[in-house]
Structure 1
Amino acid sequence: MTRFLRWISVSALALLATIVLLPQPASAAVGVVPCGQNCLAQALDAVCWEKEWCAVKVEVKGTPAAGTVVNYRTANGTAAAPGDFIAVPSAELPLMAEGVTQLGVFVAGDAVRERDEMFTVEFVDRDGRVLATASIVVRDHSAR
């Protein structure tokens, strides 16, 4: 009986160590984009209206190296391109200094009265892996 309990204890400890020590996927760090040695950029969610340009803010903490850019793209959610917003398949956002940097996305409009919809701006690395996301809620003027 003691040998069996010891085996279960060792097995449980090994399983726990495996779970804790395994590298976490990139999605575990969603929300923050590295922008240099002592620099992080955080994507902020936004609420936008149909038929308007929408400012998506990226808050920079620290000092990005000269010429630092963050790659981004848009992704469909309940709002879908091209009917609800103009898709951005790939673009770069230059980060100049500490503070807030903005990128613009155009939210299209249609004649359909709709509830709030959502799409995302994804900040990606060179290999296309998502580092951070900003959720964009699209509101319809006519539904209010």
Structure 2
Amino acid sequence: MAYWLFKTEPDAYSLDDLKNAPEQSTFWEGIRNYQARNFMRDQMQVGDKVFIYHSSCKVPAVVGIAKVTEGAQTDPYQFDASSDYYDPKSSPENPRWIGVTVQYVEQLPSQVTLKAIKAEDAITELALKKAGRLSIMPVTETEWLHIIAMSKR
């Protein structure tokens, strides 16, 4: 099992939206970054755990946990000209973009803010702390457990 962090803007799709979705599950579409796509395609597996991180909001923070329930699948929105995620260079014969299905697991006891993560010396490898640009990024098991512990403080 691996660990991941998925960024989402809560005004577009929040942890509560996932919790209230049918079967508390959704296809995580719209990823248009090659490195994030490659993580989903090449490394992510059913059963992997995912931090849901609210970004582009007043207090960016890790707010909850989901799990991967279906692996890499073609993102159909890349073919839909009316979608914000449309990619005219992609075709059903040669799709560029994929997504995975995730299911709600739980809300953290308290959110773990970006400010707290950046101040934490024990968190060293997390891309969120370094660059922060990726929409999907790996999390080490040690950092996963540390962020869980931070949420219980």
Q: TM-score range by the shorter chain?
A: under 0.3
From the two aligned structures, give the one with the greater helix fraction. 2
From the two aligned structures, give the one with the greater strand fraction. 1
**Taking structure 1 as the reference length, what is the TM-score of the superposition?**
0.27
Structure number with larger C-alpha Rg: 1
